Structure 1
Amino acid sequence: MPRLSEVTTALAALWPASLAEAWDAVGTVVGDPDSEVNRVLFAVDPVQEIVDEAVRIGADLLVTHHPLYLRGTTTVAADTFKGKVVHTLVKNDIALHVAHTNADKADPGVSDALAGALDVRVVRPLVPDPTDPSGRRGLGRVCELEHPLTLRELADRAADRLPATAQGIRVAGDPDATIRTLAVSGGSGDSLFDDVRASGVDAFLTADLRHHPASEAREHTSLALLDAAHWATEWPWCELAAAQLDEISDRHGWGLRVHVSRTVTDPWTAHAASARPSPAATLPASAARTPS
Protein backbone atom coordinates (compact mmCIF):
# COMPACT_ATOMS: atom_id res chain seq x y z
CA MET A 1 0.00 0.00 0.00
CA PRO A 2 1.23 3.54 -0.69
CA ARG A 3 2.09 6.03 2.00
CA LEU A 4 -0.04 9.14 2.41
CA SER A 5 2.81 11.29 1.10
CA GLU A 6 2.85 9.30 -2.15
CA VAL A 7 -0.90 9.69 -2.65
CA THR A 8 -0.94 13.41 -1.85
CA THR A 9 2.00 13.96 -4.21
CA ALA A 10 -0.09 12.38 -6.96
CA LEU A 11 -3.11 14.53 -6.01
CA ALA A 12 -0.92 17.65 -6.04
CA ALA A 13 0.09 16.82 -9.60
CA LEU A 14 -3.59 16.71 -10.60
CA TRP A 15 -4.46 19.91 -8.75
CA PRO A 16 -1.30 21.96 -8.11
CA ALA A 17 -1.53 24.28 -5.12
CA SER A 18 -0.06 27.02 -7.33
CA LEU A 19 -3.39 27.16 -9.19
CA ALA A 20 -5.34 28.03 -6.03
CA GLU A 21 -6.51 31.56 -5.35
CA ALA A 22 -4.40 33.49 -2.84
CA TRP A 23 -7.22 33.44 -0.26
CA ASP A 24 -7.76 29.68 -0.52
CA ALA A 25 -6.65 26.92 1.85
CA VAL A 26 -5.78 23.72 -0.02
CA GLY A 27 -3.61 20.67 0.51
CA THR A 28 -3.31 18.24 3.40
CA VAL A 29 -5.05 19.42 6.56
CA VAL A 30 -4.76 16.32 8.76
CA GLY A 31 -2.58 13.23 8.37
CA ASP A 32 0.78 11.53 8.96
CA PRO A 33 2.78 11.50 5.69
CA ASP A 34 4.20 8.06 6.60
CA SER A 35 0.83 6.41 7.25
CA GLU A 36 -0.44 3.82 4.77
CA VAL A 37 -3.47 4.46 2.57
CA ASN A 38 -5.75 1.69 1.40
CA ARG A 39 -9.21 3.27 1.11
CA VAL A 40 -10.08 6.80 -0.06
CA LEU A 41 -13.38 8.68 0.12
CA PHE A 42 -14.20 11.72 -2.06
CA ALA A 43 -16.83 14.27 -1.01
CA VAL A 44 -17.69 17.94 -1.44
CA ASP A 45 -17.88 19.04 2.20
CA PRO A 46 -15.67 18.11 5.19
CA VAL A 47 -18.63 18.05 7.59
CA GLN A 48 -19.19 15.63 10.45
CA GLU A 49 -21.64 13.47 8.50
CA ILE A 50 -19.00 12.86 5.82
CA VAL A 51 -16.27 12.21 8.38
CA ASP A 52 -18.53 9.68 10.11
CA GLU A 53 -19.04 8.01 6.73
CA ALA A 54 -15.28 7.84 6.26
CA VAL A 55 -14.98 6.15 9.65
CA ARG A 56 -17.79 3.74 8.81
CA ILE A 57 -16.23 2.52 5.54
CA GLY A 58 -12.72 2.34 6.99
CA ALA A 59 -11.22 5.13 4.88
CA ASP A 60 -7.63 6.18 5.48
CA LEU A 61 -7.94 9.37 3.44
CA LEU A 62 -10.81 11.79 2.89
CA VAL A 63 -10.50 14.15 -0.09
CA THR A 64 -12.93 17.07 -0.17
CA HIS A 65 -13.49 19.99 -2.48
CA HIS A 66 -14.33 22.52 0.20
CA PRO A 67 -11.74 23.50 2.80
CA LEU A 68 -12.26 22.72 6.46
CA TYR A 69 -10.57 25.93 7.64
CA LEU A 70 -10.77 28.67 5.04
CA ARG A 71 -9.94 31.33 7.61
CA GLY A 72 -7.59 31.20 10.56
CA THR A 73 -8.62 29.66 13.86
CA THR A 74 -7.28 29.60 17.40
CA THR A 75 -8.82 26.29 18.47
CA VAL A 76 -9.58 22.77 17.37
CA ALA A 77 -11.47 22.01 20.57
CA ALA A 78 -13.91 19.15 20.11
CA ASP A 79 -16.82 21.25 21.37
CA THR A 80 -16.68 23.24 18.10
CA PHE A 81 -18.05 21.49 15.02
CA LYS A 82 -14.83 21.88 13.02
CA GLY A 83 -12.76 20.86 16.01
CA LYS A 84 -14.88 17.74 16.37
CA VAL A 85 -14.16 16.93 12.71
CA VAL A 86 -10.42 17.20 13.39
CA HIS A 87 -10.66 15.04 16.54
CA THR A 88 -12.66 12.36 14.71
CA LEU A 89 -10.18 12.27 11.86
CA VAL A 90 -7.13 12.05 14.14
CA LYS A 91 -8.64 9.44 16.47
CA ASN A 92 -9.46 7.22 13.49
CA ASP A 93 -6.17 7.76 11.61
CA ILE A 94 -7.95 9.39 8.66
CA ALA A 95 -6.13 12.05 6.66
CA LEU A 96 -7.91 15.02 5.07
CA HIS A 97 -6.78 16.57 1.80
CA VAL A 98 -8.49 19.56 0.12
CA ALA A 99 -8.59 20.54 -3.56
CA HIS A 100 -10.65 23.71 -4.00
CA THR A 101 -9.93 26.54 -6.45
CA ASN A 102 -6.93 24.57 -7.73
CA ALA A 103 -9.42 21.87 -8.78
CA ASP A 104 -11.69 24.56 -10.24
CA LYS A 105 -8.91 25.74 -12.58
CA ALA A 106 -7.38 22.33 -13.36
CA ASP A 107 -7.60 20.50 -16.67
CA PRO A 108 -9.83 18.59 -16.24
CA GLY A 109 -11.49 20.34 -13.35
CA VAL A 110 -14.76 20.98 -11.55
CA SER A 111 -16.49 22.68 -14.48
CA ASP A 112 -15.37 19.94 -16.90
CA ALA A 113 -17.10 17.43 -14.64
CA LEU A 114 -20.21 19.63 -14.57
CA ALA A 115 -20.21 19.88 -18.36
CA GLY A 116 -19.81 16.11 -18.58
CA ALA A 117 -22.79 15.56 -16.30
CA LEU A 118 -24.88 17.79 -18.57
CA ASP A 119 -23.58 16.02 -21.71
CA VAL A 120 -22.34 19.22 -23.36
CA ARG A 121 -19.04 19.64 -25.22
CA VAL A 122 -16.37 21.83 -23.65
CA VAL A 123 -14.96 24.37 -26.09
CA ARG A 124 -12.65 26.43 -23.87
CA PRO A 125 -12.27 27.90 -20.37
CA LEU A 126 -14.60 30.77 -19.56
CA VAL A 127 -11.76 32.62 -17.80
CA PRO A 128 -8.47 31.21 -19.15
CA ASP A 129 -5.50 30.79 -16.84
CA PRO A 130 -2.88 33.18 -18.28
CA THR A 131 -0.08 30.89 -17.09
CA ASP A 132 -1.33 27.96 -19.19
CA PRO A 133 0.14 27.97 -22.73
CA SER A 134 -2.27 25.22 -23.81
CA GLY A 135 -5.27 27.43 -23.06
CA ARG A 136 -7.13 24.59 -21.34
CA ARG A 137 -7.00 25.60 -17.68
CA GLY A 138 -9.09 28.28 -16.02
CA LEU A 139 -12.37 29.06 -14.31
CA GLY A 140 -15.65 27.86 -15.81
CA ARG A 141 -16.15 26.39 -19.26
CA VAL A 142 -17.75 27.55 -22.49
CA CYS A 143 -19.69 24.67 -24.00
CA GLU A 144 -21.73 23.69 -27.05
CA LEU A 145 -24.81 21.48 -27.11
CA GLU A 146 -24.79 18.62 -29.61
CA HIS A 147 -28.33 19.57 -30.60
CA PRO A 148 -30.15 22.82 -29.76
CA LEU A 149 -32.55 22.62 -26.83
CA THR A 150 -35.13 25.00 -25.50
CA LEU A 151 -34.33 26.57 -22.16
CA ARG A 152 -37.08 24.42 -20.65
CA GLU A 153 -35.49 21.25 -22.07
CA LEU A 154 -32.04 22.28 -20.84
CA ALA A 155 -33.41 22.93 -17.36
CA ASP A 156 -35.10 19.52 -17.39
CA ARG A 157 -31.80 17.92 -18.41
CA ALA A 158 -29.96 19.68 -15.60
CA ALA A 159 -32.59 18.58 -13.09
CA ASP A 160 -32.30 15.01 -14.36
CA ARG A 161 -28.49 14.81 -14.58
CA LEU A 162 -27.42 16.67 -11.44
CA PRO A 163 -27.95 15.25 -7.95
CA ALA A 164 -31.38 16.08 -6.55
CA THR A 165 -31.55 18.85 -3.94
CA ALA A 166 -34.31 20.82 -2.25
CA GLN A 167 -33.63 23.80 -4.49
CA GLY A 168 -33.80 22.03 -7.83
CA ILE A 169 -33.00 24.27 -10.82
CA ARG A 170 -34.10 27.91 -10.88
CA VAL A 171 -34.51 29.39 -14.36
CA ALA A 172 -34.56 32.96 -15.69
CA GLY A 173 -35.54 33.55 -19.31
CA ASP A 174 -38.01 32.56 -21.98
CA PRO A 175 -38.66 28.81 -21.52
CA ASP A 176 -38.98 28.42 -25.30
CA ALA A 177 -35.73 30.22 -26.13
CA THR A 178 -33.30 28.15 -28.19
CA ILE A 179 -30.03 27.29 -26.44
CA ARG A 180 -27.01 26.29 -28.55
CA THR A 181 -24.15 27.48 -26.36
CA LEU A 182 -23.76 27.35 -22.61
CA ALA A 183 -21.29 28.59 -20.00
CA VAL A 184 -20.97 26.50 -16.84
CA SER A 185 -19.21 27.16 -13.57
CA GLY A 186 -19.33 24.79 -10.62
CA GLY A 187 -20.06 26.59 -7.36
CA SER A 188 -20.81 30.31 -6.94
CA GLY A 189 -20.63 31.93 -10.36
CA ASP A 190 -22.20 35.38 -10.37
CA SER A 191 -18.78 37.05 -10.15
CA LEU A 192 -18.21 35.76 -13.70
CA PHE A 193 -21.08 37.59 -15.39
CA ASP A 194 -18.78 39.96 -17.32
CA ASP A 195 -16.90 36.99 -18.74
CA VAL A 196 -20.14 35.16 -19.53
CA ARG A 197 -21.51 38.16 -21.44
CA ALA A 198 -18.23 38.53 -23.32
CA SER A 199 -18.33 34.87 -24.35
CA GLY A 200 -21.61 35.39 -26.23
CA VAL A 201 -23.26 32.20 -24.95
CA ASP A 202 -27.01 31.71 -24.88
CA ALA A 203 -27.21 30.52 -21.26
CA PHE A 204 -25.22 30.28 -18.04
CA LEU A 205 -25.54 27.45 -15.52
CA THR A 206 -23.97 27.91 -12.11
CA ALA A 207 -24.98 28.21 -8.43
CA ASP A 208 -25.68 30.80 -5.73
CA LEU A 209 -26.94 33.51 -8.09
CA ARG A 210 -27.88 36.62 -6.11
CA HIS A 211 -30.80 38.88 -6.95
CA HIS A 212 -28.98 42.01 -8.12
CA PRO A 213 -26.27 40.42 -10.31
CA ALA A 214 -28.87 38.10 -11.87
CA SER A 215 -31.31 40.95 -12.46
CA GLU A 216 -28.63 43.11 -14.06
CA ALA A 217 -27.50 40.23 -16.27
CA ARG A 218 -31.06 39.72 -17.48
CA GLU A 219 -31.58 43.46 -18.13
CA HIS A 220 -28.38 43.88 -20.13
CA THR A 221 -28.75 40.85 -22.40
CA SER A 222 -31.07 38.03 -23.37
CA LEU A 223 -28.82 35.65 -21.45
CA ALA A 224 -30.78 32.77 -19.91
CA LEU A 225 -29.82 31.71 -16.39
CA LEU A 226 -29.96 28.33 -14.68
CA ASP A 227 -29.22 28.36 -10.97
CA ALA A 228 -28.57 24.98 -9.35
CA ALA A 229 -27.59 24.13 -5.79
CA HIS A 230 -23.93 24.80 -5.01
CA TRP A 231 -23.30 21.25 -3.80
CA ALA A 232 -25.01 19.72 -6.85
CA THR A 233 -22.82 21.62 -9.34
CA GLU A 234 -19.62 20.45 -7.64
CA TRP A 235 -20.50 16.86 -6.75
CA PRO A 236 -19.78 15.53 -10.31
CA TRP A 237 -16.14 16.48 -9.72
CA CYS A 238 -15.97 13.84 -6.97
CA GLU A 239 -16.65 11.13 -9.55
CA LEU A 240 -14.11 12.61 -11.97
CA ALA A 241 -11.47 12.93 -9.25
CA ALA A 242 -12.09 9.39 -8.01
CA ALA A 243 -11.64 8.06 -11.55
CA GLN A 244 -8.38 10.00 -11.88
CA LEU A 245 -7.03 8.53 -8.63
CA ASP A 246 -8.19 5.05 -9.69
CA GLU A 247 -6.14 5.38 -12.87
CA ILE A 248 -3.06 6.50 -10.91
CA SER A 249 -3.53 3.63 -8.46
CA ASP A 250 -3.72 1.10 -11.30
CA ARG A 251 -0.65 2.56 -12.97
CA HIS A 252 1.42 2.32 -9.79
CA GLY A 253 -0.06 -0.98 -8.60
CA TRP A 254 -1.29 0.59 -5.37
CA GLY A 255 -4.57 -1.30 -5.20
CA LEU A 256 -6.44 1.62 -3.66
CA ARG A 257 -10.15 1.27 -2.95
CA VAL A 258 -11.68 4.57 -4.03
CA HIS A 259 -15.21 5.64 -3.08
CA VAL A 260 -17.46 8.63 -3.78
CA SER A 261 -19.86 9.75 -1.06
CA ARG A 262 -23.52 9.87 -2.10
CA THR A 263 -24.44 11.73 1.06
CA VAL A 264 -26.21 15.01 0.25
CA THR A 265 -24.53 17.78 2.23
CA ASP A 266 -26.31 20.69 0.57
CA PRO A 267 -27.46 22.78 3.57
CA TRP A 268 -30.99 23.30 2.24
CA THR A 269 -33.26 20.40 3.15
CA ALA A 270 -36.74 21.36 1.94
CA HIS A 271 -38.53 23.55 -0.60
CA ALA A 272 -41.97 25.12 -0.06
CA ALA A 273 -43.73 26.67 -3.06
CA SER A 274 -46.34 29.34 -2.40
CA ALA A 275 -49.89 28.60 -3.57
CA ARG A 276 -50.83 32.27 -3.39
CA PRO A 277 -51.38 34.20 -6.66
CA SER A 278 -48.86 36.80 -7.78
CA PRO A 279 -49.28 40.36 -6.39
CA ALA A 280 -50.49 41.73 -9.74
CA ALA A 281 -53.28 39.16 -9.82
CA THR A 282 -54.60 40.37 -6.45
CA LEU A 283 -54.61 44.12 -7.24
CA PRO A 284 -57.70 45.97 -8.50
CA ALA A 285 -57.76 46.08 -12.29
CA SER A 286 -57.07 49.84 -12.32
CA ALA A 287 -54.00 49.43 -10.13
CA ALA A 288 -52.68 46.42 -12.03
CA ARG A 289 -52.65 48.16 -15.42
CA THR A 290 -49.33 49.33 -16.80
CA PRO A 291 -49.22 53.16 -16.90
CA SER A 292 -49.39 54.58 -20.42
Structure 2
Amino acid sequence: MPRLSEVTAALDALWPPALAEGWDAVGTVAGDPDAEVGRVLFAVDPVQEIVDEAVKLGADLLVTHHPLYLRGTTTVAADTFKGRVVHTLIKNDIGLHVAHTNADRADPGVSDALAGALDVRVVRPLVPDPADPAGRRGLGRICELEHPLTLRELAGRAADRLPATAQGIRVAGDLDSTIRTIAVSGGSGDSLFADVRAAGVDAFLTADLRHHPASEAREHAPLALLDAAHWATEWPWCELAAAQLDEISDRHGWGLRVHVSRTVTDPWTAHAASNPAPLSTFGAPN
Protein backbone atom coordinates (compact mmCIF):
# COMPACT_ATOMS: atom_id res chain seq x y z
CA MET A 1 0.00 0.00 0.00
CA PRO A 2 1.17 3.57 -0.63
CA ARG A 3 2.11 5.95 2.14
CA LEU A 4 -0.06 8.97 2.87
CA SER A 5 2.68 11.27 1.55
CA GLU A 6 2.62 9.44 -1.81
CA VAL A 7 -1.14 9.73 -2.14
CA THR A 8 -1.26 13.40 -1.16
CA ALA A 9 1.58 14.14 -3.62
CA ALA A 10 -0.58 12.60 -6.35
CA LEU A 11 -3.55 14.69 -5.24
CA ASP A 12 -1.45 17.85 -5.25
CA ALA A 13 -0.43 17.03 -8.82
CA LEU A 14 -4.10 16.86 -9.80
CA TRP A 15 -4.99 20.07 -7.94
CA PRO A 16 -1.78 22.09 -7.43
CA PRO A 17 -1.94 24.11 -4.22
CA ALA A 18 -0.46 27.07 -6.13
CA LEU A 19 -3.81 27.39 -7.96
CA ALA A 20 -5.65 28.12 -4.70
CA GLU A 21 -6.74 31.61 -3.72
CA GLY A 22 -4.46 33.38 -1.25
CA TRP A 23 -7.15 33.27 1.47
CA ASP A 24 -7.74 29.54 1.06
CA ALA A 25 -6.52 26.68 3.26
CA VAL A 26 -5.78 23.60 1.16
CA GLY A 27 -3.55 20.55 1.49
CA THR A 28 -3.08 18.00 4.25
CA VAL A 29 -4.74 18.93 7.54
CA ALA A 30 -4.17 15.74 9.54
CA GLY A 31 -2.32 12.48 9.13
CA ASP A 32 1.07 10.79 9.46
CA PRO A 33 2.96 11.10 6.16
CA ASP A 34 4.41 7.60 6.66
CA ALA A 35 1.06 5.93 7.41
CA GLU A 36 -0.18 3.41 4.87
CA VAL A 37 -3.34 4.21 2.91
CA GLY A 38 -5.62 1.49 1.60
CA ARG A 39 -9.07 3.11 1.55
CA VAL A 40 -10.03 6.70 0.67
CA LEU A 41 -13.34 8.54 1.08
CA PHE A 42 -14.26 11.68 -0.88
CA ALA A 43 -16.84 14.18 0.40
CA VAL A 44 -17.71 17.87 0.15
CA ASP A 45 -17.72 18.81 3.84
CA PRO A 46 -15.38 17.75 6.69
CA VAL A 47 -18.20 17.60 9.23
CA GLN A 48 -18.58 15.06 12.03
CA GLU A 49 -21.16 12.98 10.15
CA ILE A 50 -18.69 12.49 7.30
CA VAL A 51 -15.79 11.72 9.65
CA ASP A 52 -17.94 9.12 11.41
CA GLU A 53 -18.72 7.64 8.00
CA ALA A 54 -14.98 7.43 7.28
CA VAL A 55 -14.44 5.63 10.60
CA LYS A 56 -17.24 3.15 9.86
CA LEU A 57 -15.87 2.57 6.37
CA GLY A 58 -12.37 1.93 7.68
CA ALA A 59 -10.92 4.73 5.57
CA ASP A 60 -7.30 5.80 6.03
CA LEU A 61 -7.78 9.10 4.23
CA LEU A 62 -10.67 11.55 3.89
CA VAL A 63 -10.48 14.01 1.01
CA THR A 64 -12.89 16.95 1.15
CA HIS A 65 -13.56 19.95 -1.02
CA HIS A 66 -14.26 22.37 1.82
CA PRO A 67 -11.53 23.20 4.34
CA LEU A 68 -11.90 22.30 7.99
CA TYR A 69 -10.09 25.43 9.15
CA LEU A 70 -10.49 28.21 6.63
CA ARG A 71 -9.49 30.77 9.23
CA GLY A 72 -7.01 30.45 12.07
CA THR A 73 -7.87 28.83 15.37
CA THR A 74 -6.38 28.72 18.85
CA THR A 75 -7.84 25.36 19.90
CA VAL A 76 -8.61 21.83 18.76
CA ALA A 77 -10.39 21.02 22.02
CA ALA A 78 -12.87 18.19 21.57
CA ASP A 79 -15.70 20.28 23.04
CA THR A 80 -15.71 22.33 19.80
CA PHE A 81 -17.15 20.66 16.71
CA LYS A 82 -14.02 21.16 14.63
CA GLY A 83 -11.84 20.00 17.50
CA ARG A 84 -13.98 16.88 17.79
CA VAL A 85 -13.41 16.24 14.10
CA VAL A 86 -9.65 16.49 14.60
CA HIS A 87 -9.75 14.18 17.64
CA THR A 88 -11.82 11.59 15.77
CA LEU A 89 -9.47 11.65 12.79
CA ILE A 90 -6.34 11.25 14.91
CA LYS A 91 -7.80 8.57 17.20
CA ASN A 92 -8.74 6.50 14.15
CA ASP A 93 -5.55 7.13 12.15
CA ILE A 94 -7.43 8.90 9.35
CA GLY A 95 -5.73 11.60 7.32
CA LEU A 96 -7.59 14.66 6.02
CA HIS A 97 -6.66 16.38 2.76
CA VAL A 98 -8.44 19.41 1.28
CA ALA A 99 -8.70 20.52 -2.36
CA HIS A 100 -10.79 23.69 -2.55
CA THR A 101 -10.19 26.64 -4.90
CA ASN A 102 -7.26 24.75 -6.42
CA ALA A 103 -9.81 22.09 -7.49
CA ASP A 104 -12.11 24.87 -8.74
CA ARG A 105 -9.40 26.14 -11.10
CA ALA A 106 -7.95 22.77 -12.14
CA ASP A 107 -8.36 21.02 -15.48
CA PRO A 108 -10.56 19.10 -15.02
CA GLY A 109 -12.08 20.73 -11.98
CA VAL A 110 -15.26 21.29 -10.01
CA SER A 111 -17.13 23.09 -12.81
CA ASP A 112 -16.16 20.42 -15.36
CA ALA A 113 -17.80 17.85 -13.09
CA LEU A 114 -20.87 20.06 -12.77
CA ALA A 115 -21.07 20.42 -16.56
CA GLY A 116 -20.73 16.65 -16.91
CA ALA A 117 -23.61 16.08 -14.50
CA LEU A 118 -25.77 18.40 -16.60
CA ASP A 119 -24.63 16.71 -19.84
CA VAL A 120 -23.47 19.96 -21.46
CA ARG A 121 -20.27 20.37 -23.49
CA VAL A 122 -17.50 22.47 -21.99
CA VAL A 123 -16.17 25.07 -24.43
CA ARG A 124 -13.73 27.03 -22.26
CA PRO A 125 -13.27 28.48 -18.77
CA LEU A 126 -15.53 31.34 -17.75
CA VAL A 127 -12.57 33.12 -16.12
CA PRO A 128 -9.40 31.74 -17.72
CA ASP A 129 -6.24 31.31 -15.67
CA PRO A 130 -3.73 33.69 -17.32
CA ALA A 131 -0.90 31.36 -16.27
CA ASP A 132 -2.31 28.50 -18.37
CA PRO A 133 -1.11 28.76 -21.99
CA ALA A 134 -3.52 26.00 -23.02
CA GLY A 135 -6.48 28.07 -21.84
CA ARG A 136 -8.16 25.17 -20.05
CA ARG A 137 -7.79 26.12 -16.39
CA GLY A 138 -9.80 28.77 -14.59
CA LEU A 139 -13.01 29.48 -12.71
CA GLY A 140 -16.35 28.29 -14.05
CA ARG A 141 -17.02 26.90 -17.50
CA ILE A 142 -18.81 28.15 -20.60
CA CYS A 143 -20.82 25.31 -22.11
CA GLU A 144 -23.04 24.45 -25.06
CA LEU A 145 -26.12 22.25 -25.02
CA GLU A 146 -26.22 19.46 -27.56
CA HIS A 147 -29.79 20.47 -28.41
CA PRO A 148 -31.57 23.70 -27.40
CA LEU A 149 -33.83 23.40 -24.37
CA THR A 150 -36.37 25.71 -22.86
CA LEU A 151 -35.42 27.15 -19.49
CA ARG A 152 -38.17 24.98 -18.02
CA GLU A 153 -36.58 21.85 -19.50
CA LEU A 154 -33.09 22.86 -18.42
CA ALA A 155 -34.25 23.47 -14.87
CA GLY A 156 -35.91 20.06 -14.87
CA ARG A 157 -32.69 18.47 -16.09
CA ALA A 158 -30.71 20.17 -13.32
CA ALA A 159 -33.23 19.04 -10.71
CA ASP A 160 -33.07 15.46 -12.01
CA ARG A 161 -29.30 15.17 -12.38
CA LEU A 162 -27.91 17.07 -9.41
CA PRO A 163 -28.20 15.50 -5.96
CA ALA A 164 -31.55 16.18 -4.34
CA THR A 165 -31.60 18.89 -1.66
CA ALA A 166 -34.29 20.76 0.22
CA GLN A 167 -33.72 23.85 -1.94
CA GLY A 168 -34.03 22.18 -5.31
CA ILE A 169 -33.41 24.56 -8.23
CA ARG A 170 -34.51 28.22 -8.08
CA VAL A 171 -35.10 29.78 -11.49
CA ALA A 172 -35.25 33.36 -12.75
CA GLY A 173 -36.36 34.07 -16.31
CA ASP A 174 -38.92 33.22 -18.95
CA LEU A 175 -39.50 29.48 -18.59
CA ASP A 176 -40.30 29.20 -22.29
CA SER A 177 -37.12 30.96 -23.45
CA THR A 178 -34.62 28.94 -25.48
CA ILE A 179 -31.26 28.04 -23.94
CA ARG A 180 -28.35 27.11 -26.20
CA THR A 181 -25.37 28.20 -24.10
CA ILE A 182 -24.84 28.19 -20.35
CA ALA A 183 -22.16 29.22 -17.89
CA VAL A 184 -21.73 26.97 -14.85
CA SER A 185 -19.79 27.50 -11.65
CA GLY A 186 -19.74 25.10 -8.74
CA GLY A 187 -20.25 26.80 -5.38
CA SER A 188 -20.98 30.49 -4.81
CA GLY A 189 -21.00 32.25 -8.16
CA ASP A 190 -22.61 35.68 -7.95
CA SER A 191 -19.18 37.37 -8.00
CA LEU A 192 -18.87 36.17 -11.61
CA PHE A 193 -21.82 38.04 -13.13
CA ALA A 194 -19.63 40.49 -15.08
CA ASP A 195 -17.80 37.55 -16.67
CA VAL A 196 -21.08 35.79 -17.42
CA ARG A 197 -22.43 38.91 -19.16
CA ALA A 198 -19.21 39.26 -21.15
CA ALA A 199 -19.52 35.62 -22.26
CA GLY A 200 -22.94 36.34 -23.79
CA VAL A 201 -24.49 33.05 -22.66
CA ASP A 202 -28.21 32.41 -22.34
CA ALA A 203 -28.15 31.09 -18.77
CA PHE A 204 -26.01 30.81 -15.67
CA LEU A 205 -26.20 27.92 -13.19
CA THR A 206 -24.43 28.28 -9.86
CA ALA A 207 -25.22 28.47 -6.13
CA ASP A 208 -25.80 30.97 -3.32
CA LEU A 209 -27.22 33.73 -5.54
CA ARG A 210 -28.11 36.78 -3.46
CA HIS A 211 -31.01 39.11 -4.14
CA HIS A 212 -29.18 42.26 -5.24
CA PRO A 213 -26.56 40.69 -7.56
CA ALA A 214 -29.21 38.46 -9.12
CA SER A 215 -31.66 41.34 -9.57
CA GLU A 216 -29.01 43.57 -11.13
CA ALA A 217 -27.87 40.77 -13.44
CA ARG A 218 -31.43 40.32 -14.68
CA GLU A 219 -31.77 44.07 -15.29
CA HIS A 220 -28.51 44.21 -17.24
CA ALA A 221 -29.49 41.51 -19.74
CA PRO A 222 -32.15 38.84 -20.36
CA LEU A 223 -30.03 36.25 -18.56
CA ALA A 224 -31.74 33.15 -17.18
CA LEU A 225 -30.54 32.15 -13.72
CA LEU A 226 -30.56 28.72 -12.10
CA ASP A 227 -29.62 28.67 -8.43
CA ALA A 228 -28.88 25.24 -6.95
CA ALA A 229 -27.74 24.29 -3.46
CA HIS A 230 -24.05 24.94 -2.88
CA TRP A 231 -23.40 21.34 -1.80
CA ALA A 232 -25.25 19.94 -4.84
CA THR A 233 -23.16 21.91 -7.35
CA GLU A 234 -19.90 20.65 -5.84
CA TRP A 235 -20.76 17.03 -5.07
CA PRO A 236 -20.25 15.84 -8.69
CA TRP A 237 -16.57 16.75 -8.26
CA CYS A 238 -16.26 14.01 -5.64
CA GLU A 239 -17.10 11.38 -8.25
CA LEU A 240 -14.70 12.94 -10.76
CA ALA A 241 -11.92 13.17 -8.16
CA ALA A 242 -12.47 9.58 -7.03
CA ALA A 243 -12.20 8.38 -10.63
CA GLN A 244 -8.97 10.34 -11.07
CA LEU A 245 -7.44 8.77 -7.95
CA ASP A 246 -8.65 5.33 -9.05
CA GLU A 247 -6.76 5.77 -12.32
CA ILE A 248 -3.59 6.82 -10.48
CA SER A 249 -3.92 3.85 -8.13
CA ASP A 250 -4.26 1.45 -11.06
CA ARG A 251 -1.28 2.99 -12.81
CA HIS A 252 0.96 2.64 -9.75
CA GLY A 253 -0.44 -0.69 -8.61
CA TRP A 254 -1.50 0.78 -5.26
CA GLY A 255 -4.73 -1.19 -4.99
CA LEU A 256 -6.60 1.66 -3.32
CA ARG A 257 -10.29 1.27 -2.54
CA VAL A 258 -11.84 4.65 -3.34
CA HIS A 259 -15.31 5.67 -2.19
CA VAL A 260 -17.62 8.69 -2.55
CA SER A 261 -19.86 9.71 0.33
CA ARG A 262 -23.50 10.05 -0.61
CA THR A 263 -24.40 11.61 2.71
CA VAL A 264 -26.18 14.92 2.10
CA THR A 265 -24.40 17.58 4.15
CA ASP A 266 -26.21 20.57 2.70
CA PRO A 267 -27.17 22.56 5.83
CA TRP A 268 -30.76 23.18 4.65
CA THR A 269 -32.95 20.22 5.54
CA ALA A 270 -36.49 21.21 4.55
CA HIS A 271 -38.37 23.47 2.16
CA ALA A 272 -41.83 24.88 2.78
CA ALA A 273 -43.28 26.04 -0.52
CA SER A 274 -45.28 29.24 -0.34
CA ASN A 275 -48.85 29.39 -1.62
CA PRO A 276 -48.89 32.21 -4.16
CA ALA A 277 -51.69 34.65 -3.43
CA PRO A 278 -52.52 38.16 -4.62
CA LEU A 279 -50.91 40.81 -2.45
CA SER A 280 -54.37 42.27 -1.87
CA THR A 281 -55.28 39.27 0.28
CA PHE A 282 -52.78 40.45 2.86
CA GLY A 283 -54.64 43.72 3.34
CA ALA A 284 -53.62 47.27 2.68
CA PRO A 285 -50.56 48.68 4.45
CA ASN A 286 -51.19 50.82 7.51
TM-score in same-fold range (> 0.5): yes
> 1:127-172: CA deviations, max 9, x gaps?
0000000000000000000000000000000000000000000000
Matches within 5 A, 1:41-190: 41-190=41-190
> 1:85-113: CA deviations, max 9, x gaps?
00000000000000000000000000000
Residue 248 of structure 2 corresponds to 248
> 1:181-231: CA deviations, max 9, x gaps?
000000000000000000000000000000000000001100000000000
**Aligned equivalents of 1:207 and 1:17: distance in 2?**
24
1:227 aligns with 2:222: no
**Aligned equivalents of 1:66 and 1:216: distance in 2?**
29
SS of residue in 2 equivalent to 1:139 = strand
Letter in 2 for 1:35: A
Moved over 3 A (4+): 280-284
Residue 263 of structure 1 corresponds to 263
> 1:225-280: CA deviations, max 9, x gaps?
00000000000000000000000000000000000000000000000012251425
Per-residue deviation, 1:282: 5.4
**Aligned equivalents of 2:146 and 2:79: distance in 1?**
52
**Aligned equivalents of 2:95 and 2:131: distance in 1?**
31
Identity fraction in percent = 87
TM-score (norm 2): 0.98
**Aligned equivalents of 2:7 and 2:73: distance in 1?**
27
**Aligned equivalents of 2:282 and 2:16: distance in 1?**
56
**Aligned equivalents of 2:276 and 2:108: distance in 1?**
45
Residues 76/157 of structure 1: CA separation in 2 closer, same or farther (3 Å cut): same
**Aligned equivalents of 1:275 and 1:171: distance in 2?**
17
Per-residue deviation, 1:115: 0.0
Residue 213 of structure 1 corresponds to 213
Residues 283/29 of structure 1: CA separation in 2 closer, same or farther (3 Å cut): same
Residue 29 of structure 1 corresponds to 29
**Aligned equivalents of 1:276 and 1:191: distance in 2?**
30
TM-score (norm 1): 0.96
**Aligned equivalents of 1:186 and 1:279: distance in 2?**
35
**Aligned equivalents of 2:106 and 2:278: distance in 1?**
44
> 1:39-89: CA deviations, max 9, x gaps?
000000000000000000000000000000000000000000000000000
Letter in 2 for 1:166: A
Letter in 2 for 1:138: G
Gaps of 5+ in 1: 288-292
Residue 10 of structure 2 corresponds to 10
Gaps of 5+ in 2: none
**Aligned equivalents of 2:280 and 2:168: distance in 1?**
26
Letter in 2 for 1:144: E
**Aligned equivalents of 1:231 and 1:276: distance in 2?**
28
* Number of equivalences: 285
CA RMSD, 1 decimal:
1.1
**Aligned equivalents of 1:138 and 1:281: distance in 2?**
49
